[in-house]
Structure formats: structure tokens, C-alpha cells
Amino acid sequence: MRPFAIYPASFDGSTLAWWRFGERGGSRVDVVNGLKMTNYGTGGGADPQDDGYRFSRANLDYMQGALGTLPSLAAHTFECWLSGWAHADGETAYIGELYRKTEYRTLLYGLKHATPASSWIEYAWVENGTERLARWTNAAVASLLGGQDPIHLAGVVNQAAGTCRLFVNGVQRAENLSVALASPAAAAWVDLGWNMGKSASRSLSGVLDEVRVSSVARYLGGANNTEYFRPARFGEGRRAAARGPGLEVLAGVVA
């Protein structure tokens, strides 16, 4: 049996890597290009859960996967599922990043504030040392990070449009219009749980699953939060069927 794609065309030629964690007894499954994530941490690394891997700041857990040398990218998408946020209010945490040299990287990170309206999630594009943020600051962020349901995060850089965008659960929530340069050809890798600076004070305590990196802008965005797509998790068909009748249409599996 083949696994479900995250959504249609997950494994097209623009998919650089896709990692699924935990679905079957905590195994880390390399689905695209045979790429592996290496697990690090003082306690043996992030721990497998039923869905995803749990990262602990106390153990400095993180994962890293090498993408090899990539060509110059004028666009890319970095996305994952996040749940189990376990930070005290006011603690900033890195979720993951695509790193290409010191001068070119993109990072997902967030903060749940004691004042809910000051909570934020952002996707940051770092270009020649200049950081440009697509940040969503809203009380809804506090509810999402503090809730039980996994949330889908997607950061999209599109150099042709000059944009860096953040999507949360399929809705464009933030945009920065000052991205100017394509990232150069260079060795690249993905870090999960903290950034290449390995800042212990900002590492993640939470659960990550289904990390995908693409060489295209998967979601083009739109004004006034009008751009939507419907994210679906691996095995969503089984979950849907378990929730009740009328949703079995999601349960198709191909041999």
C-alpha cells in the first residue's frame, strides 16, 4: 500500500523532500529522494508519538536532514504540522527552517503570549543578513497553540512576486512584500526544533509531523486573507471514517 499524499501532487517533481513521523509505531519514513532525518538531543533525541515526534527544549532535541546541493531557487515552500505546544507564555520557539548558507534561510517560529492578542506565528526570510517577517499577531494564535488540534503551517517565498507569505490551516495570514533575491545554488538542509544557530533558549517543545520542502510557491496567496486551501494529514481517510458516516470519500487508498 502507498501512503496518502499530504494533498494532491505532494510528490511531483517540485517536491525536494517530505518526511512523515510516527504514524506507524514511531518510524521515520523517507518518502521522497531517500532523504533521512537525523535525530539529536541530550536524551537521545525527539521521542516518537502516535502522530509525529515530540521535541523537548529541556533535552535540546532537534532533527536535521541534508538536501545536498540545490540550484538557485526563486521560490520555495516549507510546511509542517505542529501540535502539543508546551511552552510557558512569552517563550519564543523555533519550529523549523530551510537553511542555505548563512545568508539565505527561512524560519518558522512562534510565541504564545500571556496577553492572547500579542501572540504570533511568523515565517522569516533572511537574505544577506536582513530579516523580513511575515508575522500573524492575533488572539487566535494563542488558541491554536494552546489547543489540542494539530495546525498546518506553510511558509512560501516567491521571488518573482517579491513576497514571503505565511499560511495557517490553509488561510493566508501574513505577507511581506520586500523579498528581492533568489537564494543561490548551495548546499542546503532542514532543521527541525531549532535553527542553525542552535539557540537553546529558543528550541521547541512540541510535536512535529509531515514536513515538506518544495522548490515552488505552492500557494500563491491573495489579499485580505482570501486565499484558502484544504490541508489534509496522512491517513486522514481512516480518521474521517472513524469520525462518522458521510466522510468516507476521503478514505481512498491506491495500491
Q: pLDDT tens digit string along 219-247? A: 876 655 556 777 777 655 443 333 333 32
Confidence at residue 241, expressed as pLDDT on a 0 to 100 scale: 37
Taking the CA atoms of the chain, what radius of gyration do you get in angstroms?
17
> Residue range 66-81: average pLDDT?
89
- Domain contains 1: no
Q: Which pTM was predicted?
A: 0.84
Q: How far apart are alpha carbons 23 and 194 in whole angstroms?
A: 23
Residue-wise burial string across 47-84, b where 16 or more C-beta atoms lie within 10 A, e elsewhere: bbbebbbbbbbebbbbbbbebeebeebbbbbbbbbbbb
User: Where in the sequence is the domain holding 34, given as residue range(s)?
Assistant: 15-251
Confidence category of residue 85, pLDDT binned at 50, 70, 90: very high
CATH number at 70 reads: 2.60.120.200
Asked if 46 contacts 22 with a C-beta cutoff of 8 angstroms, the reply is: no
| Listed ranges 15-29, 53-67, 89-103, 143-157; the one with the highest mean pLDDT | 143-157
- Domain contains 29: yes
Among 67-76, 163-172, 178-187, name the one with the lowest average pLDDT: 178-187
> Residue range 56-70: average pLDDT?
89
Residue in the structure block whose three cell numbers are 527541525: 192
SS3 239: helix
Q: How many domains does the chain have?
A: 1
The total of other beta-carbon atoms located within 10 Å of residue 235's CB is: 17
SS3 137: strand
State which amino acid sits at residue 107: L
- Domain contains 10: no
- Domain contains 3: no
HEC letters along 43-101: CCCCEECCCCEEECHHHCCEEEEEEEEECCECEEEEEEEEECCCCCCCCEEEEEEEEEC
- Domain contains 4: no
Q: How far apart are alpha carbons 64 and 211 in whole angstroms?
A: 12
- Domain contains 8: no
Confidence at residue 225, expressed as pLDDT on a 0 to 100 scale: 55
- Domain contains 78: yes
- Domain contains 124: yes
